[in-house]
Amino acid sequence: MRYPVVRALLAGAVVILAEIAISQQLPNGAQPASQSTTPDQRAAATRTFLGLGPEPDKVAAARGAPLYQQNCAFCHGPQARGATGASLITSDEVLKDDHGEHLAEFLKMGRPEKGMPAFATMPEDQLKDIAEFVHVQVEEVANRGAYHVLNILVGNEERGREYVSSHCVSCHAPGAFAHIGSRFRLPEQLQRGWIWPIRSTNESLALTATVKTPEGATLTGRVTQISDFRITLIDHTGQTHIVDRTPGVQVEMQDPLAAHHQIIQSLTNEDMHNVTAYLETLQ
Amino acid sequence: MRLATGILIATATLAGAAPPVPHASPNASVDPGIIGKAPITSWPTFNGDYSGRRYSTLTQIAPSNVRHLTQQWVYKITDVGAQRGAPVPIIKCTPLLVGGILYITIPDHIWALNARTGNPIWHYDWVDHGGHLVGQRGVGIWKTTLFFQTPDNWLIALNANTGQELWKKNYADARKQYFSTSAPLIVKNHVIIGVGGDAMDMPGFLDSFDPITGNLQWTWWSTPRKGDPALTTWPNEPASEHGGGMTWMPGTYDPALNLLYWPTGNTNPVFAGQGRPGANLWTESIVALDADTGELKWYFQVSPHDTHDFDNTTAPILFDRVVSGKPRKLLAQAARNGFFVTLDRVTGKYLVVKPYVPLDYSSGLSPQGEPIPIPDKDPTVGGSINIVNATNWQAPAYNPNTGLVYVNSVEGKAIYYLTDDSDQPSGYGGTGEGIGPSERVLQAIDPLTGKAVWRHVYPNLNNAPTTLGPSILTTATNLLITGDDQKNAIIFSADKGQILWHHELGANESGGIITYLLDGKQYIVFGAGDSLYAWSLPQ
């Protein structure tokens, strides 16, 4: 049903869910952390986007790790980021190599003129394992799609419980948070989830609107689209209404998460950490 | 293999009556002496002129007749499929219009189009060996030579009328994650190019090349080297040499002062600042450089010691105003860190430094006017809440009649995590993701106060990750042309922000918006997704 109506004032809160674009110009923000992709898929997609070349062999790298630490770390640092010797992360010799085909030869020769010994007697497969270890170090720096957050449970549980008691019970019934910690796979998902619950999986959190047309019709329903020029609603019978926002059309939005929006504006890092630590205990 | 092919079959679609067929063949040639004048029958630089104002003196299209705007033709890119990391072609360039020829780009591709019909004249196709294919901002032109930057950091010189390659030069290593998206800036006999890439802790730079020979004229590094006093803003020389500060958006230029004004990008390592205590010059700055030598004349650091990828690449806009009875040469930037900055562009001294989005990460300004970050707002292991980037690369505008700067901004928050808490972090070292709602807001800011005179919140329910707002163009007839992220091209009144016209396109406006007179008719031209649209009033 399409109402021939005119432009309207927007009353009430308009909410835009915008993903962050913190990266220089990544299409979907710096860290595509969509719930629907696995970490490996994310890493692979970012590797492709960045043009990072072939994926390092992690099994070979694990074999190469002790060899690297024993033979190379003293000069180049434990993560190849440099010490008395250069960082290998941006080394030409490393970056022109895919799987040791160049680096193994280079390591056999060394760079005696710069004080780097030759590894002439080390078996070829071990040299290649060292090469893979270095490639994994490059990957861990350059492929931000492969990053993972550390243990974010750094808060004080008791203070978190106090915050919840004083800030959340005016809206949420006692016991509302029972077992909340078990509903999230990872603490960072819990942290996001309590600050800004996911609307798409909970219909009671949907944005709704009341639209009044100049002809006197009133429509109420879940909003599926809104712009300056049009609003689309699904009413309680499941019928979709598309209304042109021409003059005289009034739109009033209702957001069940308005209080959470307010919380985000002033939430301190300490309170965030404390509440997450507390809710994580509610398994 | 690089191809420049003449194209005989038109793929443009015509709406309404076919435009008249011109008698003279299109012919592109730009005298470098006229670059920088008000663009009327051409749009010869990324910003139209050198000032970054994106202001047109043309008056044919006006509030009284915008309702009659009619689509003249559309050119749709049909001969390029998915590119690496970019599933569909998106026009993120600002087209150039010279001698009746429009030049548009996506990564690895240039098309020369007949501006009267939208039909292709030639197409140049580069096969890259690395680099990011995330965007391409357009070409530069000097006399009859076109200049193009590739994802893997080649500067290509081509014959503007045939697309034939004249020479090419590689200026950075894609394996070190340098990549190029910029449009070269042509100043006198200098082709000035910037570069991007922050995955591997490399230093940013600008190179100036000779337009005829391709010889390097000068290089300016965006972090200091041995012997430079600015090294004291870094813990040591290796940190500075790996400190980032990419130069991936075109700068602006004042011919009278012969100064380039370039915005520099984020510091490296990006989110992990613990290995680089100090202000980290000249990353996150606006720098003024001598156009003939690349020598630094002054700097203003918008985000000292950045740890949020605030990537200060929004255009510094140049304009003149009388302030307290004195004529002043000014520069304004709506920075991505949420501060609006107005500087004296002769000296670099600040007049205004003021937040234009709600933010709480700064404890005040230094004596030089630079925002002082609060360390507690740095990314941490447990997470730290801060603002999202308040804007991005899309061009802002300035209208001398209203005296206002226009910017599409975003108001929202993100949680930033430190993922590398070692004392020797590298790369990004952290991550950030938006939390809660964020709003896209078109703002009209008085650059003498930093305050918004009017704001327009674009209603939306959906994520708007890359469309921090298409670019903006403003005109002498009080038009402000931009768009939302629901495929609407929108014209506002520049003084009040009233919506005068809109039209739903096939995609969001995605690049720069230009206007010019051709055969006496004013056109408005912009890219949206894979298509370039040309609008004008009916005959």
Contacts of B387 (CB under 8 A, 6+ apart): B308, B337, B338, B357, B358, B359, B361, B411, B412, B413, B414
Q: How far is Cα B162 from Cα B167, in angstroms, rounded to an integer? A: 14
Mean pLDDT, rounded, for B326-347: 98
Q: How distant is the Cα of A217 from the closest Cα of chain B, in angstroms? A: 22
CA distance A109 to A120: 7
- Listed residue (A11, A9, A27, A29) closest to A19, CA to CA: A29
What letter would DSSP give residue A116?
B
Residues in chain A: 283
pLDDT at B434: 92
Among the residue ranges A88-97, A144-153, B7-16, the one predicted with the least confidence is B7-16
Cβ–Cβ below 8 Å for B432 and A10: no
- Which among B417, B465, B488 has the least Cβ separation from residue A28? B465
Is B331's pLDDT higher than 90? yes
Residue pair B303/B281 in contact by the 8 Å Cβ criterion: no
Within A80-237, where are the H helices?
A: 92-95, 103-109, 124-142, 157-167, 187-195
The whole-number pLDDT of residue B124 equals 98
Query: What percentage of chain A reaches a pLDDT higher than 90?
Result: 77
**Cα B103 from Cα B121, distance rounded (Å):** 10
What's the pTM value of the predicted model, to 2 decimals? 0.92
Looking at beta carbons, which residues of chain A come within 8 Å of B435?
192, 195-196, 264
Query: Using one digit for the tens of pLDDT, what is the confidence trace for A33-67?
Result: 445 678 889 999 999 888 888 899 999 999 999 99
Is pLDDT above 90 for B20? Answer: no
B536 in Cβ contact with B526 (< 8 Å): no
The radius of gyration of chain A's CA atoms, rounded to the nearest angstrom, is 28
DSSP A215-257: TS-EEEEEEEEE-SSEEEEE-TTS-EEEEE--BT-EEEEE-TT
Residue A271 DSSP SS3: helix
Q: Which residue of B has its CA nearest to A90?
A: B176
Q: Where are the beta strands (DSSP E) in B189-308?
A: 190-194, 205-209, 216-221, 252-254, 259-263, 285-290, 296-301
| Cα nearest neighbour of A137 on chain B | B426
Structure tokens at A37: 């992709």
Q: Is pLDDT above 90 for A5?
A: no
Residue of B nearest to A152 (CA): B382
Q: What is the phi/psi pair of residue B72, to 5°?
A: -95, -45
Q: How long a stretch of residues is chain B?
A: 539
Farthest-apart Cα atoms in chain B, separation: 68
| Chain A residues with CB-CB distance to B462 below 8 A | 16-17, 225
Give me the residue label for tokens 């600002």.
Answer: B94
Picking from B108, B461, B484 by the largest number of A CB atoms within 10 A of its own CB, the best residue to mutate is: B461
Dihedral in degrees, nearest 10, Cα atoms B530, B536, B537, B539: -100
pLDDT of residue B24: 53
Of residues B53, B19, B141, B41, the one with CA closest to residue B516: B41
> What pLDDT sits at residue A21?
29
Nearest by CB: B460 against A16, A49, A267: A16
* Residue A123 distance to chain B (closest CA, Å): 28
Sign of CA dihedral B228, B230, B232, B238: negative
Q: How confident is the model at residue B274 (pLDDT cuts 50, 70, 90)?
A: very high
Sign of the Cα pseudo-torsion (A189, A190, A194, A198, in order): positive
- Residues of chain B with C-beta less than 8 angstroms from the C-beta of A81: 424, 426
pLDDT digits (tens, 9 = 90+) for A218-258: 999 999 999 999 999 999 999 999 999 999 999 999 999 99
Instruction: List the single best residue of A9, A16, A79, A84 to mutate versus B (max B Cβ within 10 A).
Output: A16
Q: Which residues of chain B make contact with A269, given a CB cutoff of 8 A?
A: 376-377, 380, 382-385
What local confidence, expressed as pLDDT, does residue B5 receive?
Answer: 52
C-beta separation of B30 from B103 below 8 A: no
Question: d(Cα B153, Cα B503) in Å, to the nearest integer?
Answer: 37
Q: Answer whether residue B191 shows pLDDT above 80.
A: yes
Q: Mean pLDDT throughout B339-343?
A: 98
Residue of A nearest to B468 (CA): A21
Query: Is B381–A154 a contact, with Cβ atoms under 8 angstroms apart?
Result: yes
* Closest CA in chain B for residue A268: B385
The residue type of B184 is: P
pLDDT tens for each residue of B507-520: 999 999 999 999 99
Cβ atoms of residues B147 and B141 within 8 Å: yes
Residue A20 has pLDDT above 70, yes or no: no
Secondary-structure percent of chain B, ordered helix, strand, coil, rounded to 5: 5, 40, 55
Of B248, B427, B434, the CB nearest to A142: B427
In a 3-state reduction of DSSP, which class is residue B153? coil
Count of Cβ atoms closer than 10 Å to residue B16 Cβ: 11
Least confidently predicted of A23-27, A183-187, B378-382: A23-27
For range A183-209, the mean pLDDT: 94
Contacting residues of A for B504, CB less than 8 Å apart: 229
Interface touch A19/B465, C-beta < 8 Å: yes
What whole-number distance in Å separates Cα of residue B457 and Cα of residue B445?
14
State mean pLDDT over A97-106.
96
A227 vs A251, B346, B352, B461, B504, CA distance in Å? 11, 43, 33, 8, 11
The single-letter DSSP state of residue A111 is B
pLDDT value of position B463: 57
Q: How far apart are alpha carbons A282 and A259 in whole angstroms? A: 23
CA dist A216 and A60 (Å) reads 72
Question: Is residue B108 a contact partner of residue B115, using CB atoms and an 8 Å limit?
Answer: no
Q: What is the distance in angstroms between the Cα of B519 and the nearest Cα belonging to chain A? A: 34
Looking at residue B358, what is its pLDDT?
A: 96
As a whole number of angstroms, the distance between CA A61 and CA A137 comes to: 9
Is there a contact between B433 and A227 if contact means CB atoms under 8 Å apart?
Answer: no
Contact B330, B320 (CB under 8 A): yes
Which ipTM value was assigned to this complex? 0.91
- Indicate the residue of A18, A22, A33 with minimum beta-carbon distance to B464: A18
Within a 13 Å sphere around the CA of B483, how many CA atoms are in the beta-carbon half?
Answer: 25
pLDDT in tens, B118-164: 999 999 999 999 999 999 999 999 999 999 999 999 999 999 999 99
List Cβ neighbours of B458 (8 Å cut-off, separation of 6 or more): A16, A227, A228, B439, B440, B441, B442, B484, B485
Taking an 8 Å cut-off on Cβ atoms, the answer to whether B459 and A22 are in contact is no
Mean pLDDT of B494-519: 96
Tell whether the model's pLDDT for residue B467 goes beyond 90.
Answer: no
The dihedral over CA atoms of B243, B247, B251, B255, expressed in degrees to the nearest 10, equals 70
**Tally of CA atoms within 13 A in the half-sphere of B492 that contains its CB:** 26
Inter-chain CB pairs, A–B, below 8 Å: 257
Span of B35-39, B265-269, B401-405, B514-518 with lowest mean pLDDT: B35-39
More confident of the two residues B54 and A8: B54
What pLDDT was estimated at residue B37?
A: 86
Per-residue DSSP letter, A164: H
* Predicted local distance difference test score (pLDDT) of residue A36: 66
- Percent of chain A with pLDDT strictly greater than 70: 87
Tokens coding B526: 């912009």
B414 membership: H or E segment, kind and range: strand B404-418
pLDDT > 80? residue B369: yes
For residue A7, the chain B residues in CB contact (below 8 A) are 499
Check CB contact under 8 Å for B85 and A264: no
| SS3 assignment for B44-103 | CCCECECCCCCEECCCCCCCCCHHHCEEEEEEECCCCCCECCECCCCCCCCCEEECCEEE
- Give pLDDT tens digits for B60-89: 999 999 999 999 999 999 999 999 888 899
Mean of pLDDT over chain A: 87
Sorting pLDDT into bands at 50, 70 and 90, what band is B4?
Answer: low
Mean pLDDT over all residues of chain B?
93
For residues B326-342, give the mean pLDDT: 98
Q: What is the pLDDT of residue B469?
A: 65
Coil, helix or strand at residue B455: strand
Strand-pair partners of B205 = B221
Res B206 pLDDT > 90: yes
List the single residue in B134, B200, B432 with the smallest CB-CB distance to A20: B432
- Position A11 confidence tier, pLDDT thresholds 50, 70, 90: very low
